[in-house]
């Protein structure tokens, strides 16, 4: 749904039947303080300390959950990314204490897929590797700790982000960050008509709509000493902003449906992310769609691993690959941005960008 399509009538939602503590607390704030920005509403719906969709641990990803991500397709995604991380490690001189920082790690499945593959197939890299997860929500950290217990001290959860050399990785993190709904100088804010949530429009001057995502880029840039940032997400180069509300594999018509029980995301505006990264001294090392990115990695793996193909005789892996690559499945919907800091600007492209065109950001 484009912002303009989020009209008052269509999105007005009678939440009497969903009289949860979360809905009540959102209503109370609006009654006391007047209409609130959509960023504030999204923060409550997804990240309210007790009742938010993510922070409560209620979010379920995959076939039996609310939506699919690359990670939920199967282990192939993590294995391909592990190969890309290994190339980065080689590029940085095969250093000891190479750190992968993952943010938005959900239940730890991606970390597990990466670490299992590296341990089995890339033992030298495994010895040098440290895995760090930035996780603000205790219930998710608990799930990650359980899933990754077998790796002991290799995986740690720092209390706050720390300086590191290596790679910062995220899959669908930026699109889950709170945004304001601003289009053509008008902002849609969340108000109440009786007990119904409605959008109220107000004029705004030039204002940043994705403050949280930009601040997360500041934080990553401040902590990365040398290495790469790889962010995978669905978004646009042009200024097209779509809000998506998903529950049980259905797209809902309004963010006011199933508050705290549905995922809310906004397509990422890559141009503003890149601009902020460059202002922080990061350099763009590649940008392409997921189809080209994963095809590049796969072709490198297939040509270099002495015939130990990632897909060897596995029908399941081939199906996973098709889902990840197919333009009508996940291949074109997702894009991959790579940024670098203190890496030789003349360094050749990473495998993932072998087939990419030169990016143009607006
Ligand atoms: C759409 S899910 C993606 C999960 C996982 N990466 C995957 O691909 O299956 C977004 C995740 O980002 C997390 N998240 C949101 N803001 C975050 C932040 N500031 N730091 C770390 N995680 C965050 C949410 O809790 C949620 O687990």
pLDDT at 282: 97
Q: Enter the DSSP assignment of 330.
A: I
- β-strands 36-37, 164-171: how paired? unpaired
**Cα–Cα distance, 99 to 96 (Å, whole number):** 9
Interval 243-295: pLDDT, tens: 999 999 999 989 999 999 999 999 999 999 999 999 999 999 999 999 999 99
**C-alpha 107 – ligand 1 centre gap (Å):** 9
pLDDT in single tens digits along all 362 residues of the chain? 777 666 655 555 555 446 689 999 999 999 999 999 999 999 999 999 999 999 999 898 998 899 899 999 999 999 999 999 999 999 999 999 999 999 999 999 999 999 999 999 999 999 999 999 999 999 999 999 999 999 999 999 999 999 999 999 999 999 999 999 998 889 999 999 999 999 999 999 888 999 999 999 999 999 999 999 999 999 987 656 789 999 999 999 899 999 999 999 999 999 999 999 999 999 999 999 999 999 999 999 888 765 467 887 688 999 999 999 999 999 999 999 999 999 998 888 999 999 998 777 75
Residue nearest to atom 27 of ligand 1 (CA): 106
Distance of CA 37 to the CA centre of its chain: 22
Residue nearest to atom 11 of ligand 1 (CA): 104
Ligand 1 pocket test: pick from 143, 176, 334 the residue with the most ligand atoms within 8 Å of its Cβ. 176
Pocket of ligand 1 (CB under 6 A): 54, 61, 69-72, 103-104, 106, 134-137, 140, 171-173, 176-177
User: The tokens of 156 are what?
Assistant: 């740690």
Q: Which atom of ligand 1 is nearest to the CA of 67?
A: 1
Spell out where 81-220 has E strands.
98-103, 129-134, 155-156, 164-171, 181-183, 186-193, 196-203
Burial class (CB in 10 A: 0-12, 13-18, 19+), 282: buried
Backbone phi and psi for residue 137, each to the nearest 5 degrees, phi listed first: -110, 115
> By the 8 A CB rule, do 144 and 133 touch?
yes
Element (H, E) at 304: helix 290-304
**Cα–Cα distance, 191 to 197 (Å, whole number):** 6
> By the 8 A CB rule, do 320 and 73 touch?
yes
User: The tokens of 56 are what?
Assistant: 């409560």
**C-alpha 346 – ligand 1 centre gap (Å):** 33
Tell which residue, 231, 234, 228, 258, has the closest CA to residue 246: 258
Instruction: Region of 169 please: left (phi>0), alpha (psi -120 to 50) or beta.
Output: beta
């Amino acid at each position: 749904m484009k912002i303009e399509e989020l009209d008052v009538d269509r999105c007005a939602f009678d939440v009497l039947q969903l009289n949860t503590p979360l809905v009540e607390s959102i209503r109370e704030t609006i009654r006391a303080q007047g209409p609130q920005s959509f960023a504030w509403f999204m923060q409550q719906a997804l990240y309210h300390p007790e009742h938010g969709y993510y922070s409560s641990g209620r979010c379920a990803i995959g076939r039996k959950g609310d939506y699919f991500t690359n990670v939920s397709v199967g282990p192939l995604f993590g294995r391909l990314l592990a190969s890309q991380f290994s190339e980065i490690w080689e590029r940085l001189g095969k250093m000891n204490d190479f750190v992968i920082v993952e943010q938005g790690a959900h239940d730890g499945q991606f970390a597990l897929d990466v670490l299992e593959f590296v341990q089995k197939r890339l033992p030298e890299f495994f010895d040098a590797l440290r895995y760090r997860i930035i996780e603000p929500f205790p219930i998710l950290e608990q799930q990650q700790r359980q899933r990754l217990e077998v790796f002991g001290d290799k995986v740690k959860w720092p209390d706050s982000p720390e300086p590191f050399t290596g790679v910062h990785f995220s899959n669908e993190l930026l699109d889950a960050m709170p945004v304001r709904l601003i289009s053509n100088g008008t902002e849609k804010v969340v108000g109440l008509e009786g007990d119904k949530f409605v959008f109220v429009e107000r004029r705004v001057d030039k204002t940043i709509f994705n403050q949280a995502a930009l601040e997360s880029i500041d934080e990553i840039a401040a902590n990365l000493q040398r290495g790469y940032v790889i962010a995978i997400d669905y978004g646009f180069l042009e200024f097209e902003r779509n809000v998506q509300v998903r529950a049980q594999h259905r797209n809902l018509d309004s963010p006011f449906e199933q508050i705290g029980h549905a995922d809310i995301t906004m397509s990422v505006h890559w141009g503003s992310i890149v601009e902020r990264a460059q202002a922080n001294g990061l350099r763009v090392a590649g940008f392409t769609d997921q189809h080209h990115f994963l095809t590049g990695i796969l072709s490198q793996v297939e040509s270099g691993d002495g015939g130990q193909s990632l897909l060897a005789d596995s029908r399941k892996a081939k199906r996973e690959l098709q889902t990840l690559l197919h333009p009508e499945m996940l291949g074109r919907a997702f894009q991959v941005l790579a940024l670098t800091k203190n890496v030789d600007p003349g360094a050749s492209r990473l495998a993932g960008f072998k087939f990419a065109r030169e990016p143009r950001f607006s």
